[in-house]
Structure 1
Amino acid sequence: MPPAKKRARSYDPVRTRAAVLAQLGHVRQGLRGLGAEQLGGPTRLGEWTVRDLIAHIGMAVTAVHRALDRPAPPKQDLAVVQWPFATSASACAIDEFTRGLAAGHLDLDACLTDVDASLRTLLDEHPGSRLLETDAGALPLDDYLVTRAVELVVHTDDLNAAVPGLQVPYDRQALAAATRLLADALAVKAPGGSTEVRVPPYAVVQCVEGPRHTRGTPPNVVETDPLTWIRLATGRVSWKDAVEEAKVSASGERADIGSLLPLMP
Structure 2
Amino acid sequence: MTATLAEATTALHSQWDRLRAWILEVVVEADDTAVAAAPSILEGWTVTALVAHVGRAMDALAACTPLPADTTPLTLAEYLGTYAGRAADIAETTRAIAAQVAPDPVGWIDARAAAAFATLAAADGRDLVVQARRGPVRLSTMTVSRVIELVVHADDLAVSVRRVPGADAGPDPVDPGALDLVARELLAIVVARGGWDLEVVDPLTWIRLATGRAPCGTSSLAAALAPRWTSDGLPDLGRMLPIL
| TM-score, structure 1 normalization | 0.76
- Of residues 206, 225, 243, the one that matches 2:219 is 243
**5+ residue gaps, structure 2:** 163-168
Q: Of the two structures, which has the highest relative contact order with CA contacts closer than 8 Å and spacing of 6 or more?
A: 2
The residue aligned with 1:215 is none
The residue aligned with 1:94 is 90
2:21 counterpart of 1:29 = yes
Q: Whose radius of gyration is greater, 1 or 2?
A: 1
Q: Give the AA of the match of 1:20.
A: L
Query: How far off is 1:236 after superposition?
Result: 0.3
Aligned residue for 1:138, secondary structure, equals: strand
The residue aligned with 2:49 is 52
- Of residues 172, 175, 188, the one that matches 1:171 is 175
**5+ residue gaps, structure 1:** 1-8, 200-223
2:86 counterpart of 1:109 = no
| Aligned mates of 1:50, 1:21 — CA distance in 2 | 22
| Aligned mates of 1:82, 1:135 — CA distance in 2 | 13
Residues 23 and 243 of structure 1: is their aligned pair in 2 closer, same or farther, counting only changes over 3 Å?
Answer: same
Contact residue 23 and residue 171 of structure 1 kept, 8 A: yes
Residues 135 and 115 of structure 1: is their aligned pair in 2 closer, same or farther, counting only changes over 3 Å?
Answer: closer
Aligned residue for 2:55, secondary structure, equals: helix
Contact residue 81 and residue 184 of structure 1 kept, 8 A: no
Contact residue 84 and residue 182 of structure 1 kept, 8 A: no
| Aligned mates of 1:150, 1:129 — CA distance in 2 | 18
Q: Give the AA of the match of 1:153.
A: V
Query: How far off is 1:54 after superposition?
Result: 0.6
The residue aligned with 2:166 is none
| Aligned mates of 1:28, 1:152 — CA distance in 2 | 10
Residue identity (%): 29
Aligned residue for 1:168, secondary structure, equals: coil
Query: How far off is 1:58 after superposition?
Result: 0.6
Contact residue 151 and residue 182 of structure 2 kept, 8 A: yes
- Of residues 126, 130, 133, the one that matches 2:131 is 133
Contact residue 19 and residue 149 of structure 1 kept, 8 A: yes
Q: Map 1:132-151; keep pairs closer than 5 Å.
A: 132-151=130-149
Contact residue 12 and residue 147 of structure 2 kept, 8 A: yes
| Aligned mates of 1:253, 1:11 — CA distance in 2 | 27
Deviation digits for residues 37-79 of structure 1 (CA, Å, limit 9, x no counterpart)? 20100111111000000100110111011223xx626602311
Contact residue 49 and residue 94 of structure 2 kept, 8 A: yes
Contact residue 243 and residue 249 of structure 1 kept, 8 A: no
How large is the RMSD of aligned CA atoms in angstroms? Answer: 2.4
Residues 129 and 192 of structure 1: is their aligned pair in 2 closer, same or farther, counting only changes over 3 Å?
Answer: closer
Residues 198 and 250 of structure 1: is their aligned pair in 2 closer, same or farther, counting only changes over 3 Å?
Answer: closer
- Of residues 227, 236, 240, the one that matches 1:256 is 236
Query: How far off is 1:245 after superposition?
Result: 10
Contact residue 49 and residue 98 of structure 2 kept, 8 A: yes
| Aligned mates of 1:129, 1:44 — CA distance in 2 | 35
Contact residue 20 and residue 174 of structure 1 kept, 8 A: yes
Contact residue 76 and residue 140 of structure 1 kept, 8 A: no
Aligned residue for 2:198, secondary structure, equals: strand
2:67 counterpart of 1:72 = yes
Query: How far off is 1:108 after superposition?
Result: 1.1
| Aligned mates of 2:60, 2:130 — CA distance in 1 | 10
Contact residue 18 and residue 173 of structure 2 kept, 8 A: yes
User: Which stretch shifts more, 159-168 or 52-61?
Assistant: 159-168
User: Which stretch shifts more, 91-100 or 54-63?
Assistant: 91-100
Q: Give the AA of the match of 2:33.
A: A
Q: Give the AA of the match of 1:92.
A: A
